[in-house]
């Protein structure tokens, strides 16, 4: 799909959804991104699982956003701060594992660094982090972004109201911070939103589409 999009004309940045790359990117940064982007020579922002040593010495997995620069190097990343209970973490440890066998055990951080592309700074709330106004306020205050890029996996919800609610939430964040928002999802609804909350372009739900904005 990215090759199809590039065939229509040049782009400054390509954005893929949350956890689109699941093999695990081994930190710390910088690391090479050539195996991920292959022949795509445009900067690429994408969601991925990442793996590295935690402060307690254990190896932890994180739900992350990364930026592959034009030279193929991953220098900037963001790890999700707010994990979804019973999906990305178990609130009471492994005692509930028999009831939620598919729950992940991601690590969380409290850092909100921007992903930097030239002179542009991007804040990247992942999935339902975008629905927490106070968290996005903190992220914007600390990262000072020019652009908000929201990555999400909404396939959990199928053909329901939730993806449309998630889009409405993204529009609210655009208005609150008066910034453009790019929302990239694996199943819809992906969109580009202007700083007044108006839709520049959007996809459908459960459709195969490429957006250019």
Q: How far apart are CA 36 and CA 47, in angstroms?
A: 11
Q: Name the nearest CA neighbour of 47 among 68, 64, 72.
A: 64
| Calpha distance 20→186 (Å, rounded) | 8
Q: Please state, as a whole number, how many other Cβ atoms lie within 10 Å of the Cβ of residue 205.
A: 19
- Residue 77 CA to residue 65 CA, distance in Å, equals 6
Which phi and psi (to 5°) does residue 181 adopt?
Answer: -125, 130
- Closest of 212, 211, 133 to residue 177, by C-alpha: 133
Residue 23 DSSP code: E
Q: Is 18 a catalytic residue?
A: yes
Environment class of residue 172 by beta-carbon count within 10 Å: exposed (0-12), middle (13-18) or buried (19+)? middle
Between CA 158 and CA 156 the distance in angstroms is: 6
Among candidate residues 4, 88, 127, 209, the one labeled active-site is 127
Q: Which of 4, 18, 88, 129 is catalytic?
A: 18
* Of 4, 61, 80, 162, catalytic: 80
List of residues 6+ apart from 70 with CB closer than 8 A: 41, 42, 43
Residues with catalytic roles: 18, 80, 127
């Amino acid at each position: 799909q990215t090759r199809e999009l590039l065939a229509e004309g040049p782009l400054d940045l390509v954005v893929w959804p949350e956890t689109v790359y699941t093999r695990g990117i081994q930190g710390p940064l910088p690391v090479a991104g050539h195996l991920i982007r292959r022949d795509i020579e445009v900067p690429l922002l994408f969601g991925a699982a990442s793996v590295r040593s935690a402060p307690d010495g254990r190896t932890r997995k994180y739900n992350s956003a990364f930026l592959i620069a034009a030279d193929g190097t991953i220098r900037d990343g963001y790890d999700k701060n707010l994990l979804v209970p019973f999906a990305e973490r178990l609130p009471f440890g492994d005692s509930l594992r028999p009831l939620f066998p598919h729950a992940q055990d991601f690590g969380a951080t409290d850092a909100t660094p921007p992903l930097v592309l030239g002179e542009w700074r991007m804040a990247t709330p992942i999935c339902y982090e975008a629905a927490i106004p106070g968290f996005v306020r903190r992220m914007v205050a600390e990262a000072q972004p020019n652009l908000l890029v929201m990555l999400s996996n909404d396939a959990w919800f199928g053909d329901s109201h939730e993806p449309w609610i998630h889009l409405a939430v993204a529009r609210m964040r655009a208005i609150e911070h008066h910034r453009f928002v790019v929302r990239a999802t694996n199943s819809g609804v992906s969109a580009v939103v202007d700083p007044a909350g108006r839709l520049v372009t959007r996809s459908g739900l459960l459709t195969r589409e490429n957006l250019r904005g």
